[in-house]
Chains A and B, each alone.
Chain A
Amino acid sequence: MSGSLHGVRVIELASLWGAWSAKLLGDLGADVVVVEPPGGHFTRSFGPFVNDEPHPDRSLWWWYYNTSKRSVVLDLSSPRGAEHLRQLVADADIVIEGEKPGRLAALGLDHSDLRAGHPELVWTSVTSHGRRSTRSAEPWIDLTLAAASGLAWLNGYDDHSLPPMRGRGSQTLQIGGVHAAMATLSALIHRDSTGAGQHVDVSVSAACNVTTESGTFVWLVAGQTVQRQTGRHAFITPTMEVQGQAADGRYITSGFLPQSAQDYEALLVWLDELDLRETCPEVFFLELGVERGGINVSKDFGDPEVLAILGAGRTALMHIAANIPALDFFEGAQGRDLQCGIIFSPEEAYENRHFRARGFQVRVKHDELAREVDYPGAPFKMAASPWAISRRPPLVGEHTEELLGIPRTTDAGGESRS
């Protein structure tokens, strides 16, 4: 079986913003060729590196975002390099690029130039603020986009002397990247039915702005600004804490607090099983929760007894967590139909038996290092056209000869920055 995009040729001009979208398309079966400047794209200088030895072919950042791609090295500012790009694009269905506005036009290589004789081509530009904005010429990075787009405002601690927080993992790039992939796929589907390509202008900033949930719609609808809180949703007024520490030091989240009689019954049984009923405060209110047949907080918010019962549910969950390891708490709660969570580190989730059983760990052969490497797997499982890493991330210009019939250059001097 081949992937969904089998037979679709994508030319990607290597960029910070476009890398993930092209990987998504490549892992879905497209034939992706990433075009890098001499020396390799600057993101190859991003760590971590294999055995902490910096080298363009050992960047794990590059690895993750460039699976299922081939690489050619071209100097687009030279007539020969430009000609080679035209040659590659002539055979392509899709181009993805994240160049600063104006650069490609100055080289005669913009979408208006290359789509002229190739109207079925889908050309996706993914830049910090869109091709139409002068801000895309400014130096934007993950941190400053997270700040300017409203993401950072929402994350942090109850203590507001501590700063708002950015999330790890280049999330702005991934938000922009998934939107670039969605838009490109939509344009491809339009082409499937009409034969017409088009230019798609993606703004990472705009993408992040609409990835802020109540940070945006509470303002749009009610004209209010939500405020950050530790481990839970930012809100217009302070809400109940949901995060607690388990006996092994790991954190858990209480999730939706119990409200049904069965929930309270389950909590009481669980407390008994662990011999914790005696030490658990407010057990009386759990019993009351059972007696009352559960509570409905949204209906009876003013009723102090209802709030006491709700609070007792939370207290019981935190008490149980404090006495057992976090994983036992998580599996025990979910096994009792209580929607609690465990705060795994990424590697703990990756090693967890559930994700292992589903085959999320994907082994990829790195012949250049004579070893195999376990990668994160599919974002979704497609039964008929499976997601797959079709090839390991390419070495700098590894496929230049194969694709263009010219020798691979490995000369240094790649661009720094973007």
Chain B
Amino acid sequence: MQALSHVTICDLSGQLAGAGATRYLAALGARVIRVEDPVRQGAWDIVRGSPPYVDDRRGMELGGGFNNHNVEKLGVTLNLRLESGRDLLRRLIAVSDVVTENFAAGVMTKLGFSYDEMRSIRPDIIYVSNSGFGHSGPYANFKTFGPVVQAVCGLTFGVGLPDAPPAGWGFSYMDHMGANLMAAAVLAALAHRNRSGEGQWVDMSCTEAGLGLTGPDLLDYTVNGRPLRRPGMPDSNHSDNPPMAPHGIFPTDEEDRWVALACRDDVDWVAFGTVCRASWADDARFDTLAGRLEAQAELDRLVSEWTSKHSRHQVADMLLAAGVPAAPVAMSEDRIERDADNAAWGLFPTVDHPVIGDVRVDGIPAHFSQTDWRIERGAPLLGEHNREVFCELLGLTNEEFTTLQEEGVF
């Protein structure tokens, strides 16, 4: 038995921000039934047939990111343009605890599945929608994807050198964090239903969720009137709160290979000096944090000169051994193929996919002593579980199934 074995989710979500939420719940045992459009061959989900690929084959069943984000789910197809398709969705909702989606606001209502409609099918249904701006407010109809979400919510602004153009996030960070918070919303609503018997609609705006990830900077603004848009910002490799120096990412003896290090306090600085053994490390100006912050640019230059003589692993190993925080800036292969902790954790399990074959995917960063996660099965093919869901779960006869199939419902 797993933690969510008794939970059934009717999952209309996709892309990464939606699929990432239900993948977590599926790994913890929930029966997640992913509903896709047979007419467009699931193409609403832009990652379904997108790179990366394991080999030269291309197609809607071969998207590596799609497989990664849809492990352990069941896949069905339903043509919701047809009344018989909508009828089957109603029957699916009737046996589900949760409905999830991440369409633009208004799409579900247009399909005839507003929260009120769903509640009339199943009174304690939990409906979690994750859209860019939520279902109310002046921007409710604006459309987003990860890069737009993180731009609008202030996260992109917070990555970069001082007074330089934003470097931003080199991936859809908010697809991950949006997915995580969406999963938390499902779980919170389940906990509430367990206590009160009532379901509800959870309206999540991904940009709002992202804005909440800038908390202390926002309070500095509301309390002290200090905006983050000010000279010298965002300066995100340095640390203003708490102040530390040195604190940054430094070059090494190999091109484009880097090491991160920081001295949290004067104790770390003394330890740094014993490792580095350069004369400047004894410079009295650097004895105090205030002095090191005052001369931070010069200090960064001196630290860079030292780190440039060593490999990223040498610098990190020497400093960590002395109790100073340090780590190589890991490339994909460093942490996926050569990290003992990730291996021991089982962080990249192998799944079996009927078309792609065996391939590794992301695991779950929590281990449960009694009900641990399980990721063994790859993403579903389009409509792979139609019979299992529509016949075994919803009770269609074989004849009914065949008739609907001929009508183009699946």
Contacts and interface: CB of A to CB of B under 8 A. Distances in A.
B369 A200 contact: yes
Interface string A369-383: 000011111111111
A149 B1 CA distance: 31
Interface in A1-36: 3-8, 24, 28
Given A6-B195, A341-B152, A63 B219 contact: yes
Contact of B165 (A7, A45, A230): A230
Nearest to A418: B264
Nearest to A225: B332
Interface in B348-382: 348, 359-371
Contact of A163 (B152, B158, B173, B249): B249
A28 B188 contact: yes
Given A140-B325, A214-B171, A358-B136, A188 B52 contact: no
Contact of B152 (A194, A230, A231, A344): A344
A255 B368 contact: no
Contacts of B195: 4, 6-7
B237 A163 contact: yes
Nearest to A129: B341
Chain B interface mostly: mixed
Contacts, number: 513
Nearest to A256: B145
A129 B340 CA distance: 11
A343 B151 contact: yes
A65 B218 CA distance: 12
B298 interface: no
A304 B200 CA distance: 51
B281 interface: no
A354 B167 contact: no
Contacts of B219: 48, 60, 63-64, 373, 375
Contacts of A154: 169-171
Contact of B258 (A150, A164, A205, A347): A164
B212 A377 contact: yes
Contacts of A357: 136-138
A143 B191 contact: no
Nearest to A158: B167
Interface in A374-418: 374-385, 416-417
A142, A211, A417: most-surrounded residue (chain B CB, <10 A):
A211
B99 interface: no
Interface in A95-115: none
B288 interface: no
Interface in B178-204: 180-185, 187-192, 194-196, 198-204
A384 B111 CA distance: 24
Given A163-B250, A219-B336, A347-B228, A143 B365 contact: no
A380 B180 CA distance: 12
Interface string B38-63: 00000000000001111000000000
A310 interface: no
Nearest to A139: B325
Interface string A201-218: 111111101111111111
A157 B171 CA distance: 13
B265 to A, nearest CB: 7
Interface residues of B, number: 154
A355 B260 CA distance: 36
A6 to B, nearest CB: 7
A222 B182 CA distance: 29
A216 B3 contact: no
Nearest to A199: B369
Contact of B216 (A60, A193, A224): A60
Contacts of A142: 239
A48 B53 contact: no
Contacts of A348: 154, 227, 229
Interface string B130-159: 100110111100111101110111111111
A251 B165 contact: yes
A201 B166 CA distance: 36
Given A149-B330, A190-B370, A203-B345, A144 B216 contact: no
Nearest to A235: B170
Interface stretch (A76-84, A176-184, A259-267, A268-276): A176-184
B153 A344 contact: yes
Given A358-B205, A384-B200, A201 B371 contact: no
Contacts of A185: 184, 187-188, 190-191
A354 B138 CA distance: 5
Contact of A230 (B167, B200, B261): B167
B171 A225 contact: no
Contacts of B242: 45-47, 61
Contacts of B224: 48, 50-52, 60
Given A150-B332, A189-B4, A220-B68, A168 B217 contact: yes
Contacts of B65: 213-214, 217, 221
B336 A231 contact: no
B346 to A, nearest CB: 10
Contacts of A130: 341, 345, 367
Contacts of A133: 341, 344-345
Contacts of B133: 354
A196 interface: yes
B360 A220 contact: yes
A209 B278 CA distance: 34
A341 B144 contact: yes
A194 B6 CA distance: 11
Contacts of B167: 155-157, 165, 228, 230-231
B261 A144 contact: yes
Given A168-B158, A175-B177, A349-B211, A214 B52 contact: yes
Nearest to A60: B219
A240 to B, nearest CB: 13
Contacts of B173: 167, 171, 211, 213
B75 interface: no
Contacts of A60: 216, 219-220, 223-224
B203 A380 contact: yes
A188 B157 contact: no
Given A379-B212, A384-B192, A385-B192, A220 B336 contact: yes
Given A168-B234, A380-B185, A350 B370 contact: no
Contacts of B144: 339, 341
10 contacts: A46-B241, A182-B183, A189-B7, A193-B194, A205-B365, A211-B176, A218-B52, A221-B53, A376-B212, A380-B128
Given A186-B28, A385-B188, 20 more contacts: A129-B341, A132-B344, A132-B345, A144-B261, A150-B330, A163-B250, A165-B159, A175-B177, A203-B365, A209-B365, A210-B362, A212-B171, A231-B167, A243-B165, A347-B229, A353-B138, A355-B137, A379-B185, A379-B204, A381-B134
